[in-house]
Amino acid sequence: MFYTNYKSPLGKIIIIGNSQNICGVYFEGQKYFLYKIREDLIENNDLEIFKLTKHWLDRYFKKENPKISEIPIAPIGTNFQKLIWEILCKIPYGETSSYGEIAKKAAKILNKDRISAQAVGGAIGHNPISIIIPCHRVIGANGNLTGYAGGIDRKIKLLELEK
């Protein structure tokens, strides 16, 4: 696994991946940094995947709405977490969803009567690919801005950037 740094308008971002996929995009000091990544990381600023991701982030911060599908991602997590992260990827740019709405979608996919919003919140909080997997677009049922592993101030700025 390799890493590179990216200087964003919201602070330093560490991008982690291999030669084919991005496995992590973390703000410096973010909660759950390197969650489930157990390998030693080697700095490499020349990987094409990193250049592609940096260009994607440049475009995102210029409000160009790049598509998630442009970046090959491979987040590391449980099957439940991956399902929740897939659902997050379907929240359109500039829109939000609630934990409860995501729980209902996950329950339907898993053919369950119910999944708790708290379980969904746990999976969202451990999202290893910030911004690209848009966990910042998830809000509380009453419209409250709830936690964000990168910090609530960053969540507010990301939502403002998209609207």
Q: Does 135 qualify as catalytic in the annotation?
A: yes
Kindly state the tokens that stand for 55: 């260009």
Looking at the chain, list the stretches that DSSP marks H as alpha helix, in order from N- to C-terminal side: 48-61, 79-88, 99-109, 117-125, 152-162
Q: Which residue of the set 123, 135, 138, 149 is catalytic?
A: 135
66 contacts 60 by C-beta, under 8 angstroms: yes
16 contacts 37 by C-beta, under 8 angstroms: yes
Q: Which residues are catalytic?
A: 135
